[in-house]
Amino acid sequence: VADVRLISLTTDFGLSDSYVGAMRGVISSIAPGVPLVDITHKIAPQDVRSAAFVLWAALPYFPAASVHLVVVDPGVGTGRRALASETSWGVLVGPDNGVFSYVWAAAPARSTVELSNPAYWRSTVSSTFHGRDIFAPVAAHLAAGVSLAALGSPLSAPVRLPAPHLSATESRLRGEILHIDHFGNAITSIGRLVWDGELLYLDPAFGTIQPRVVNPARLVVRIGERDVGSIRRTYGDVPPGELCALVGSEGLLEIAINQGGGAPALGIDVGDPVDVVVA
Amino acid sequence: VADVRLISLTTDFGLSDSYVGAMRGVISSIAPGVPLVDITHKIAPQDVRSAAFVLWAALPYFPAASVHLVVVDPGVGTGRRALASETSWGVLVGPDNGVFSYVWAAAPARSTVELSNPAYWRSTVSSTFHGRDIFAPVAAHLAAGVSLAALGSPLSAPVRLPAPHLSATESRLRGEILHIDHFGNAITSIGRLVWDGELLYLDPAFGTIQPRVVNPARLVVRIGERDVGSIRRTYGDVPPGELCALVGSEGLLEIAINQGGGAPALGIDVGDPVDVVVA
Amino acid sequence: VADVRLISLTTDFGLSDSYVGAMRGVISSIAPGVPLVDITHKIAPQDVRSAAFVLWAALPYFPAASVHLVVVDPGVGTGRRALASETSWGVLVGPDNGVFSYVWAAAPARSTVELSNPAYWRSTVSSTFHGRDIFAPVAAHLAAGVSLAALGSPLSAPVRLPAPHLSATESRLRGEILHIDHFGNAITSIGRLVWDGELLYLDPAFGTIQPRVVNPARLVVRIGERDVGSIRRTYGDVPPGELCALVGSEGLLEIAINQGGGAPALGIDVGDPVDVVVA
């Protein structure tokens, strides 16, 4: 089964309606037996930026030949374009609304086309559900071996989201909260941070500041008026219920409560600024 | 892999217990490698009518050879019968409580049997979990090639739900809210509506009124005391936060808020009457 | 497809982040096409005991050759060990924190190893996400045919949770609430109860009391000050909205409300004592 080409699914459809099922049915009709692998269907409704982050965090772990189908699509039925894009992280399929911005920053597009060839769509296209009528059939045809070029003409200047905030002075790194996860951990744009003995290397995942080496023992993390202390190795380095800063699983600075309720209980929200300062 | 016969799953079990896992395990034990495709497990507990709607909306998009396993079963362990039914939308397996009513209205049963042959059940049958002990093994055996006739004797007069309300006078169509989706869109029984230039064709999906042609420019949608205006093409045709009526992805009239919180915030609920009147 | 070896997944990651997707990607990269079967990702955060119960209830229904990947891991990144364990219910992979205790009580470990061979891990291991970096790759290699012995050295004295409370006198059985399900049914540690005509056999699933025969007509179930009456066959044996005691699908005594809101509305919680007394 070594050349099975899977399709991952990422949407904001939730899991209570017929919508995800209908997409899975469409794909299974065109490409029977293709593995369908959910990333998540619980992106907050129409939250393109949140989807962009989740894709950036999940896609590196998939086989490079995967097809990644994404439907977070507030502009469905309007003039927004639809695209497919080939990268070293797989082929991306979804609306041209910036949802692939963070993926492209790490895995630049080799080729991107506008989905303009209706031969690979369902024969009837609704004005409110392109996930089922355009994106799902296109993803299925790609998994079944259709080439990117067959789907449409090259698309230039796709929509891109602004990079997450990340800035540096001699004595301070400033980022922002990018995502709050199921455990209440607040993940920031400060990274990627790599431990090497006593030193941290900052190799920016986003933005354009220069890589640098910092000494974690001399650093203090601050969010708003709150002092979170120095950077730890894992949640268990502080007692249960206590706040800590650590390097998360994607190398981004993360603010967590060991076995606790997390960021929402503290009033921490996406977009809040976070500082790392030399103590 | 062209003759892979998938099993779809629709239940009200939620996703936090062992129940869905146990069913998947049973199926995988009988039919190893059969694709399992979730439609949803978040039907409201015991809400047979909601499941009937979701199946009607999802099943047309699946391969015709699929097996559709449904467990929304308030009468489990009582005298209610169990059935399998062959249709042009696939083979249906579940309790005889009306959950397939709307599917049968669109894809009439070619043959329906009562599940009476315990040879295709688990050897021990609990009184509270026929999903695991009867429906899952029967679905797995069907996917593996067992014939409908082997499962039991013909079942006549299966339970049917009343059709959703849909009535018409010269100057008014009246329907009801059938379903409120994850985005808060309120889906009505008024449809199927098909756009053709400036005209809408009403081809009733439910009920027995005659098809007719109407002019959307002359129509106004009303729910309770609220005037929703004329029928639009897509969410983006009104500003964010504004209420609009449009033809949804199944051809049913839908009341939505563009990028907004939707029906629950407005006090709109399933069963509420909706009118389309000539302005 | 008879020798397909599936991997089941059980975590407390929820379904809204990239975490489950990243694990699925890692597995699909190592073992393309291996069936991934979710048990649940909605274990309450860090609730090892709840996961232990769900695994006990789900695993018997899976093919014996399955690999069961479990990540409920409050001690990630600390000194807690990681293990793989071969049983008659499949190969278990997860943290050494007691999460397999109830499975081992029913299906004793034939062989258990500590995961100490990094050859079967991702090349970089984070301190906060061993699910992705150790457990998922190990499960994938096991499904692809790697032997348990290759993964590490024998692990002795794995962590075990205390057995659920179950005690008996001549006139009373006492257990505790183990789990409250999606429907609000409160599942107790009293069982397994097996009906045989008018008699109930108690064959303890947990703890060490002796099997015995009891007469359900003479029994009354009590929770706190509440008298639940005798033991029924199924939910439908009482009117909708009424409380009843019955033998659940795992043979455990269960307290339910027919088609009702269930235990949380009654103030019943996990750990509460439940009595069965001779009337």
Write down the pTM of the prediction: 0.95
Q: Is A123 left (phi over 0), alpha (psi -120 to 50) or beta?
A: alpha
> Are B13 and C246 within 8 A, CB to CB?
no
Q: How far is C54 from chain B (nearest CA, A)?
A: 5
The shortest CB-CB distance from C42 to any of B16, B33, B133 is to B16
Q: Is the pLDDT of residue C43 over 90?
A: yes
* Assigned token pair, A273: 């600024």
CB-CB contact of C15 with C42 (8 Å): yes
- State residue C114 phi and psi, 5-degree precision: -85, 135
> Are B28 and C38 within 8 A, CB to CB?
no
Question: What is the tens place of the pLDDT at every residue in C99-118?
Answer: 999 999 999 999 999 999 99
Question: What is the tens place of the pLDDT at every residue in C163-219?
Answer: 999 888 888 889 999 999 999 999 999 988 877 666 777 888 876 677 777 777 788
pLDDT, averaged across chain C: 91
What integer pLDDT is reported at residue C2 of this predicted model? 42
> Are C77 and A1 within 8 A, CB to CB?
no
Nearest Cα residue in chain A from B50:
A17
Q: How far is A5 from chain B (nearest CA, A)?
A: 13
- State residue C32 phi and psi, 5-degree precision: -55, 135
Place of tokens 């296209």: A125
What integer pLDDT is reported at residue A132 of this predicted model? 98
Q: Is the pLDDT of residue C84 over 50?
A: yes
Q: What is the pairing mode between strands A67-71 and A7-11?
A: parallel
Average pLDDT over residues B146-158: 97
Gap between the Cα atoms of A9 and A19, Å rounded: 12
Q: Is the pLDDT of residue B3 over 50?
A: yes
Q: How far is B177 from chain C (nearest CA, A)?
A: 23
Angle at B13 between CA B8 and CA B15, to 5 degrees: 85
Question: Taking the C-alpha atoms of A43, A44, A46 and A51 in order, what is their torsion angle to the nearest 10 degrees?
Answer: -40
Between C85 and C219, name the one with better pLDDT: C85
Question: What is the tens place of the pLDDT at every residue in B236-247?
Answer: 788 888 888 998
Question: What is the tens place of the pLDDT at every residue in B107-148?
Answer: 999 999 999 999 999 999 998 999 999 999 999 999 999 999
From the list B244, B238, B236, B239, the residue with the least C-alpha distance to B262 is B244
Nearest Cα residue in chain A from B38:
A21
The pLDDT tens digits along chain A (279 residues) read 345 699 999 999 999 999 999 999 999 999 999 999 999 999 999 999 999 999 999 999 999 999 999 999 999 988 999 999 999 999 999 999 999 999 999 999 999 999 999 999 999 999 899 999 999 999 999 999 999 999 999 999 999 999 999 988 888 889 999 999 999 999 999 988 877 666 777 888 876 777 777 777 788 999 988 899 888 877 778 888 888 899 999 999 999 887 777 787 788 999 999 999 987
Q: How far is C233 from chain B (nearest CA, A)?
A: 7
Q: Is the pLDDT of residue B2 over 70?
A: no
What integer pLDDT is reported at residue A198 of this predicted model? 67
Q: What percent of chain C lies above the pLDDT cut of 90?
A: 70
What integer pLDDT is reported at residue A2 of this predicted model? 42
What integer pLDDT is reported at residue C1 of this predicted model? 39
In the complex, which subunits touch A with 3 or more CB pairs below 8 angstroms?
Answer: B, C
* Assigned token pair, C195: 């009906």
Nearest Cα residue in chain B from A4:
B1
Average pLDDT over residues B226-231: 89
The shortest CB-CB distance from C2 to any of B21, B32, B75 is to B32
Q: Is C48 exposed, middle or buried (0-12, 13-18, 19+ CB in 10 A)?
A: buried
Question: Taking the C-alpha atoms of A242, A248, A252 and A253 in order, what is their torsion angle to the nearest 10 degrees?
Answer: 20
Gap between the Cα atoms of C120 and C115, Å rounded: 9
Gap between the Cα atoms of C275 and C231, Å rounded: 12
What integer pLDDT is reported at residue B236 of this predicted model? 78
Question: What is the tens place of the pLDDT at every residue in B205-216?
Answer: 876 677 777 777
Q: How far is A249 from chain C (nearest CA, A)?
A: 6
List, in order, residues 6 or more apart from C225 with CB less than 8 Å away: none
- Preceding peptide of A192 cis, ω within 30°: yes
Gap between the Cα atoms of A96 and A104, Å rounded: 13
In the complex, which subunits touch B with 3 or more CB pairs below 8 angstroms?
Answer: A, C
Q: What is the length of chain B?
A: 279
CB-CB contact of B24 with B72 (8 Å): no
Nearest Cα residue in chain A from C127:
A234
CB-CB contact of C18 with A39 (8 Å): yes
**Residues in B touching C14 (Cβ below 8 Å):** none
- State residue C167 phi and psi, 5-degree precision: -135, 160
Measure the N-to-C terminal CA separation of chain C; round to a whole number of Å: 54
* DSSP string across B127-189: SS-HIIIIIHHHHHHHHTT--GGGG--B--S---PPPPPEEE-SSEEEEEEEEE-TT--EEES
In the complex, which subunits touch C with 3 or more CB pairs below 8 angstroms?
Answer: A, B
Question: Taking the C-alpha atoms of C69, C187, C160 and C40 in order, what is their torsion angle to the nearest 10 degrees?
Answer: 10
What integer pLDDT is reported at residue B69 of this predicted model? 98
* Assigned token pair, B198: 């400036």
Average pLDDT over residues C235-252: 87
CB-CB contact of B255 with B227 (8 Å): no
Average pLDDT over residues B153-166: 94
